[in-house]
Amino acid sequence: MEQTLSIIKPDGVRKNIIGDVIRRFESRGLTVIAMRMLQMTKQEAQGFYAVHKERPFFDSLTDFMSSGPVVVMVLEGPDAIALNRKIMGATNYEEAEEGTIRKDFASSIESNVVHGSDAPETAKTEIAYFFSSLDIMA
């Protein structure tokens, strides 16, 4: 079993598709073992995306991620990190496969509905950014 962090971004919450997104995870074998709805400050978004701080899109990304509520979840399942990324589709929705969340719902490379951890080490750090071990129903 593996755990990964998933975020339904402000555009996903605004589009009223929280249930649809979670259903896609659950129907493919991922289980929600922790969940919170919250709105990040700009500073909290900068902390979460610190690895991207030199990128040209960092300022816009952190404005966007702090622009409204998000749903953060820990998903668990066999190969959860890779499976979650497969269900989400490519970062750029124009390159995402048919039937993925981003292909179906994203409206730009930034407003791409969901975030998912990309590796075991990042999953650990990202989960700890939002959840204490007592919050996780593992």
Binding residues: 9, 57, 85, 91, 102, 112
Q: Are 116 and 81 in contact (CB under 8 A)?
A: yes
Query: Nearest CA to 101 among 26, 5, 25?
Result: 25
Cβ-based nearer residue to ligand CMP, 43 or 138:
43
52 part of the active site: no
Q: Give the β-pairing of 2-8 and 114-116.
A: antiparallel
Cβ-based nearer residue to ligand CMP, 46 or 112:
112
Out of 80, 111, 115, 123, the active site residue is 115
Rounded to whole angstroms, the Cα distance separating 82 from 71 reads 20
| Interface with ligand CMP (CB under 6 A), residue from 23, 42, 53, 57 | 57
50 binds ligand CMP (CB under 6 A): no
